[in-house]
A and B are shown apart, each in its own frame.
Chain A
Amino acid sequence: MSRQLEFYLFHNGAYRWAPHKDLIGEWSRSNFVSLPTSFYKPEYALRAMDEWLETNILAEKLGYDGVVVGEQHNGPIGLSGNPMVITSWLAANTERLLIAAVGPLLNAYLSPLRLAEEIAIVDILSRGRLILGLPMGIGGQYHSVGVMDPTHARTRFREAHDLMFKAMTEPGPFEWQGDYFHVPYVNLWPRPLQQPHPPVWIPAAGSRETLQLCARRRYTYQSVLTPRSTLSRNCVLFRELCAEEGYETAPEQIAYVVIVHVAETDRQARLEAEPHVMWLYQNFFRSTFQDSFPPGHVSIASLRGMAAGGGYRSRDISEMTWEELWDEGWIVAGSPSTVVERLEELTDEFGAGRIVMIPDMGSAPSWMVKKNLTLCAEEVLPRFRAPGAGPVWAREDRRAPTTWAQWAAAGGEPKATPEARVEGDGVLDVRTAHVQELREPTRE
């Protein structure tokens, strides 16, 4: 075994009954932003959501390390408008699995303090199993939500990030006087269970600024759909930036997102996966330049780089073939041994210690997803773990106590006594005031 890898499922919960790219022009230029809701049938949405949530729950039984929940808006590419809602449901319906919300769009929140509250709630509900991902949000989202301004995306994101983490980690109340937020009383109740805060992942195309943030704060850098050579370069740069901060990048700090499909043989894997992979690339990611890059979403320097280097137009991902997708490292499909070999090769190249595995390819039926996940769990996962080892959450129980008995033993004295003034008796400790002989005034 060459390396240890953690495996996280990233099922998108797509609504797959949408028109193909050849036909969609009649109603919308793509599946982003403006496909009419006339394509939405509640029965199918219910089915999609059920399959999606069930797959996430199954991950625990199968022994995956965790699951990842994204945020999508205004279209069939994902029915997850708010990952904090979905992760709170997962927290209640699983016991041990790590749950990553990757993630809430800071810029979709009017105040980052609302998100800080939601994070704290889900962290408590899950007993400290929450991982927090903070994407900038793909361009399409900025057209949809109504409060997101792409021309301020980066600066507002940074301020919201700083305010949110200060609220989670420093004592309140304090006043925040920013360019975007002026909050006279930042005072976060409840607070996250994990200290100082849940682990953070940042999905990024690879801007130096974002990689620097990850390096500085020891966050995990999560890849997005970038060409293999770009991802390799990003990973090299990330390790350099970590070194500048005085430490060596942990493999867990690089999470590599990839479609993984395991079947009995290579031939069988391709038979099963190819139609769904093609559905995904032809319909799911396809978008216009204007939708993907609303004004200010990309810097002029990056735009010039894109245009000069062959640019966004030289590569229409909806035209890519199976072989091209394989070479780019965007799909890994085959027999268990083929998949093990290929994952070793790619994670070695990137120095990645975490696989974020897309198991559904957007349109695969539930039975196929389960077959893939079962084979992968039984035949692939053990190859990336110490002999007999379970998922990370089974090796050491890092959860906060789950029982009242444990809290009573661990809690110690509260910071204040709950008291009330009762006419005729004075100020009482309400915890014991219902017992006549304990009904004594606590003070004058």
Chain B
Amino acid sequence: MTESRPAAQPERSWKYYTKPEWIEVRGLPTAYRRGGRGEPVVYLHGAGLTRRWLPLFETMARTVDVIVPEHPGFGDTMLPPWLDGFDDLVVHYDELFDLLGLEAVHLVGHSIGGWLAAEYATFYPHRVNSLTLIAPLGLRVLDHPIRDIFRMTPEEAGPALFNGSAGPYAEFLSDGDEVETLVQGYSELTALGRLMWNPRYDVKLDRRLGRVTCPALVVAPDEDRIVPREHIGRWSELLPQARVETVAGTSASTGHLLIIQEPEKLGKIVTEFVTTTGPQGNR
């Protein structure tokens, strides 16, 4: 069901908030942010950290055209009744790319955004020039399940996402008003549940990833307490042209949210990979 938002919203004064642009994708107004020039790079976000233009995007926008849409049910894009799995998102994004006039794109996905990017690439391999998966979920690795994010309390989340050093990143974790932060978090978790409550992996990726013809980069943090390291190795086995890169922390070890811990380093690695691969990556 589409949840309506209150008419009067508290002012959005949290850090890195920018006003989104809107595009209507077959009846669904979809929020997105865009900046920079060069190769078109679509960044598919994870759960949370939406409604922001993050420093990582700013870094990337120095060399490429960064497009950051908000998935149905996340950020300012409403949860539509039809959202029930990653296939619905794949089709949604295929239509969005058409509307934006993007014939082929570089896909960068973090966390569940990585899972989504991989799914898209298996369905439409010819539209993907390169695939960058940052701490991605999506695979079944026996005996190394991902952490149960649905039961995680706020007290557990900090240490799990930042390897014990949540304090410095508090400004990223609040959407202003306390009630709004709770409601937004629960809404997005509900959308996430639609995608991956059960099972929390897609066993079909094991076979389908063989269809991905473009170069792929799998990025891992020092220590990921959400997605065990074994998953990184499995991705690189399954993707035909994959390379693994670890982004080490400058002052502390990087965790699942390396995107806000090391935006400079990570942005540089991603844009270098994108520009090196260029527009013919899928050929």
Contacts and interface: CB of A to CB of B under 8 A. Distances in A.
Contact of B197 (A29, A149, A300, A304): A149
Nearest to B186: A303
Nearest to A304: B183
A356 interface: no
Nearest to B182: A307
Given A295-B186, A300-B3, A149 B150 contact: no
A133 to B, nearest CB: 25
Nearest to A298: B186
A293 B6 CA distance: 21
Contacts of A288: 151, 153
21 contacts: A33-B151, A149-B193, A149-B198, A150-B193, A151-B193, A151-B194, A151-B197, A290-B152, A291-B151, A293-B186, A294-B193, A295-B150, A295-B186, A295-B189, A295-B197, A296-B193, A296-B194, A300-B183, A300-B187, A304-B6, A307-B179
Interface in B143-180: 150-153, 179
A289 B154 CA distance: 10
B192 interface: yes
Nearest to A155: B1
A143 interface: yes
A245 B193 CA distance: 36
A290 B192 contact: no
A304 B194 contact: no
A308 B153 contact: no
Contacts of A230: none
Given A150-B193, A151-B194, A294-B193, A143 B179 contact: no
A348 B190 CA distance: 40
Interface-central residue, B150, B190, B192, by most chain A CB under 10 Å:
B190
Contact of B182 (A150, A294, A303): A303
Interface-central residue, A146, A150, A295, by most chain B CB under 10 Å:
A295
Contacts of B152: 290
Given A288-B153, A307-B183, A295 B3 contact: no
Contacts of B182: 303, 307
Cβ-closest 9 pairs across A and B: A295-B193, A151-B193, A295-B190, A295-B189, A300-B3, A296-B190, A307-B179, A151-B194, A149-B197
Given A151-B190, A294-B150, A146 B198 contact: yes
A279 to B, nearest CB: 24
A265 interface: no
Interface residues on B, range: 10 to 19
A143 B3 contact: no
Interface residues on A, range: 20 to 34
Contacts of B151: 33, 143, 288, 290-291
Nearest to B184: A300
A93 interface: no
A321 interface: no
B192 A295 contact: yes
A432 interface: no
A308 B3 contact: no
A207 interface: no
Nearest to A291: B151
Nearest to A300: B3
Interface in A283-313: 288-291, 293-296, 298-301, 303-304, 307-308
Interface in A132-166: 143, 146-147, 149-151
Contacts of A299: 3
A304 B182 CA distance: 9
A115 B190 CA distance: 28
Contacts of A303: 182-183, 186
Interface in B186-213: 186-187, 189-190, 192-194, 197-198
B63 to A, nearest CB: 37
A33 B150 CA distance: 13
B89 to A, nearest CB: 15
